Structure 1
């Protein structure tokens, strides 16, 4: 399955949480994607563009754009964790979600193993009442485990617990080492099936296609618009 994959890597939870405790509230920044979150989603950069502590952006073009921040250089165990990933690393962040906070359903673009950039989540502090959903599947990840998520699929998080959930999130550039890790973990490429029956129609443009079909004012156009609408509402 390509939505979720547990890698054969495990990390010391006590050591992770001990270093997490070194980062106090002033170190954290509001996550930049405010369109899917109203409060309580914050980030702390460990690798960022130019190693800046005031940037939690991800998505720069090359791994060479990123450098370790002072937060990482002061965190020996987190350095060990990253050294376990023998591949170029782009953005590396601690992402925190406060009790009662939600990240609305959304998806990223060109952020998957198949695209050459794999996002790995390592729960540092979590709880069974934290619901992380991706493509309608629940991520049941234990603290210290390493999980790949295909962020191109719709995903959301609801923290119904009384604790602040924190994940270490690593954007890894795919290389031979990472390919081998995925193979060892049982990775199988999922065949993409276009749910609309036409490769030119996707979630981003389906509403526009429906609107255009309706303007044709023909039985065939109306029927296709109705079929697409039913698929959306399933």
Structure 2
């Protein structure tokens, strides 16, 4: 007697997997922007590192690494703000020991972290439209926490502005086309965190989707 052939389980179409999350989602976390701005002020005189993909922007777009690939602690900072494909081990940068407010934010996120850095876009600078294919919200996600912003900042994702206020916490699907302009008079600084999409982050994103906008802080 012949058994019934086993059915192959088909993976969902890529478009369905991609659309598991919206292209932007404010997470139900909020941090004290005044504390973060206070620590940021102490960093202003440090040597910020220009973003290494110079074709993507005009003006000044730069970073200070806070979590870095393991093994780069004593290497040039440019190696600390970039990750080779396949990097899985990250550690706190030595500087983070002197930034208790930023330490609290990173620990308070409640999910495993990969890289983290402060990203600054100076007045008049522009990040051109581009996409980051690996930040699709499936394998990895990018989280933005505005530290300092101004009304002249325009972050556009899929042709629609995303308004992010200081102290808020946002997931953005940056495998889609996005761009950034700072038409204001002061630098825009975000804490930018990359994270693998594991159970803890997934649960936070599901919770965010279930809450009305006014209950997410």
TM-score by length of 1: 0.75
Structure 1 vs Structure 2 CA RMSD: 1.5
Aligned match of 1:74: 98
Report if the CA contact (8 A) 1:60-1:90 is conserved: no
Structure 1 unpaired stretches of 5+: 188-234
Residue 176 of structure 1, aligned match among 199, 202, 206: 199
Q: CA deviation at 1:59?
A: 5.6
Q: Please state whether the residue corresponding to 2:206 is helix, strand or coil.
A: helix
Aligned match of 2:165: 142
Q: CA deviation at 1:91?
A: 1.0
Report if the CA contact (8 A) 2:29-2:169 is conserved: yes
For residues 186 and 52 of structure 2, what CA distance do their matches in structure 1 show?
A: 22
TM-score by length of 2: 0.81
CA separation of 1:13/1:125 partners in 2, compared to 1, >3 Å: closer, same or farther?
A: same
Aligned match of 1:6: 26
Bigger Rg, structure 1 or 2: 1
Q: CA deviation at 1:117?
A: 0.7
Aligned match of 1:159: 182
Report if the CA contact (8 A) 1:88-1:172 is conserved: yes
Report if the CA contact (8 A) 1:124-1:166 is conserved: yes
Structure 2 unpaired stretches of 5+: 1-20, 211-217
Structure with greater contact order relative to length (CA < 8 Å, sep ≥ 6) = 2
Q: Where has structure 1 moved over 3 Å in runs of 4 or more?
A: none
